[in-house]
Amino acid sequence: MRAINAELSKLLSLPGIWLALFIGAFAPAVFAALDSLTQKADIIAGISTRLAEVGYIGLGFGVQGVIILGVLAVSSEYLTESSESGGGQQMTTSLSVVSSRLYVLLAKGGAVTVISALLCMVAIIIMVPTTHLILDEYAPAFEWSRLFGALCYWIFTALLAVGFTVLTKNGVIPLAVLMINSSIVSFSVLLSKITTLAMYLPDRAGIDMFMSMSDRFHTPFIGGLVMFAWVFVLFIIAAIVFYRRDVAA
């Protein structure tokens, strides 16, 4: 528990964390508001085919905050400190305090999970009233089961960012790939045009936990299991690589 508290303290001391928290808290409401304004006329006319998705789509696009969070949790450890501080890396200090590399990785995962869950709750608290304010009585019903699915989606996405960054030791690649995939071009959606196996990619399966799309492939429970399996396998690979890696390399 002390290791998780230490990781929480380190995360909250990073300058970039405030950008992650700001984006995570407000981006879902912005996306939901834009979607609500775009769809409002069709919804009032009763011809919208996407009413069930309005609002929730903000939670689908608004995970950039937790992606930044997950990447920062690991990449910050490999930044070289100033010469006044010895020119070393934070990772060396972390491993001298917590000798087990597995505990370090699990503590980071625990800290990221806690912040991601709280951030998603804040995002929901802001997004739901925003959607109701724009659509009024036409706003979709926000079901607790689907909101919980979105919560799991955020946590799993953040943990994927952690595992990915452990493998690369660099924040640029995972940040670029995950943010582009979640906001601009979904690689799994593109691949699904070629093969249904793409439906088992983590982001595509995770979306089925809370989005009522016409092309839904999994039940919310199965979608969650698939995404959790990806997180579990990636963390095992990351733990093996982290255990064998020379920190100074």
Instruction: Give the Cα separation of 184 and 92 in Å (integer).
Output: 36
Sign of CA pseudo-dihedral 203, 208, 211, 217: positive
Q: What pLDDT does 249 receive?
A: 46
Q: What pLDDT does 68 receive?
A: 95
Q: What pLDDT does 86 receive?
A: 47
Q: What is the mean pLDDT of each run of 10 residues along the chain (249 residues)?
A: 84 90 95 89 79 85 93 84 53 67 88 96 95 87 91 97 92 91 82 87 92 79 96 95 69
Token representation of residue 147? 């909101």
Full-model pTM: 0.91
Instruction: Give the Cα separation of 131 and 172 in Å (integer).
Output: 33
Q: What pLDDT does 142 receive?
A: 85
Q: Where are the beta strands (DSSP E) in 98-248?
A: none
Q: What pLDDT does 28 receive?
A: 94
- Show me where the domains of the chain are located: 2-244
Distance of CA 29 to the CA centre of its chain: 16
**Which amino acid is present at 205?**
A
Instruction: Give the Cα separation of 56 and 184 in Å (integer).
Output: 17
Instruction: Give the Cα separation of 153 and 147 in Å (integer).
Output: 10
Instruction: Give the Cα separation of 151 and 97 in Å (integer).
Output: 32
